[in-house]
Homo-oligomer: A and B are copies of this chain.
Amino acid sequence: MSPLVKIRSERDQMSAVERRIADFILENAQLLRDYSSQQLANALGISQSSVVKFTQKLGFKGYPDLKYSVGEAIARADNGDATHVATKAAEAHDESGVGSLWRRKSEAEEETRLINTPDTLQAVADAMATAGAKGKVFMIGLGDDDIYARSFALRLSLLGIPTVHNFDAARMAASVSAAGAGDVLLVFSEHGNHPALCKIGRFFRERRGRLITVTRHTSNPLRALADIALLVSAHDDRPYIQPVLYQSALQHLLDGVFVQLCEGDEQRHVQLLSNLERVQQMLDP
């Protein structure tokens, strides 16, 4: 039972001094944290030993025991709205727009998480894994997208999946020209309407490769071509925030695929770990 409830319930059968202690605690529970038994006694003009006896009578081991119990009770009580620590902290900081950024990022990431079902992530991860075993993964993105394509490509490489990343359409075209069944092409394009990329995508599909697109959550020509389409959702009026959100959400999505890839299948998991170990060995000495 909460210590405060206990105190209240016993209050009526207490002596005068005890009742004063009880009342003080009930009214100033949050102050208790900084009071020693002596200070509390002083504040009430009574002796320290009375305070200790009070706590023992109530069934606590001693004064600190009561103190900690009350502290916990308060913590539990005012927890009501502290749902997500991150959100809370972000809101508290909320000065100069930076605080709001964290919230907007969370929102964008969450939206993105919701519009891509776990099944989709799993399907993408499986496609990568298959390509890792029987073929190659090609990856391309232009502009800002190239960075995330590259980052993701590096991660796949670390897992032992043969990955080809190109910065521009011309090189990609060359790389893809000989692709075939068992290969995967991952195209990053925020708006999904870059003609060169669409063309490469179409060609790749004709060669029986699996096409995965990563675009904004709109209907766009690139997405229409895809075997599997990953979608990113992010909105903000401010022109300089917009890309930050898009990139966060995109990164978030890729993180999800990556972990799914690492952990989705037991056998794969083991194999990937040994891969990483070999990489470490090469780098360490």
Which of A19-27, A71-79, A197-205 binds B? A71-79
Residues of B within 8 A of A83 (CB): 79-80, 84, 87
- Chain B residues, Cβ within 8 Å of A68: 33, 67-68, 71
Residues of B within 8 A of A264 (CB): 96
Neighbouring B residues of A239 by C-beta, 8 Å: 273, 276, 280
Instruction: Find residues 75-93 in chain A having any chain B CB closer than 8 Å to their own CB.
Output: 75-76, 78-80, 82-87, 89-90, 93
Question: B residues within 8 A CB of A98?
Answer: 118, 121, 256, 259-260, 263
Q: Knowing A86-B110, A118-B95, A239-B273 touch, does A154 contact B159 (C-beta < 8 A)?
A: no
How many residues on chain A are close to B (CB under 8 Å)? 70
Q: Which residues of B contact A251 (CB under 8 A)?
A: 247-248, 251
Residues in B neighbouring A102, C-beta threshold 8 A: 109, 113, 252
Contacts of A71 in B (CB 8 A): 68, 71-72, 75
Closest chain-B Cβ to A249's Cβ sits at a distance in Å of 11
Q: How far is the CA of A223 from the CA of B134 in the complex (A)?
A: 44
Residues of B within 8 A of A52 (CB): none
Contact A256–B101 (Cβ < 8 Å): yes
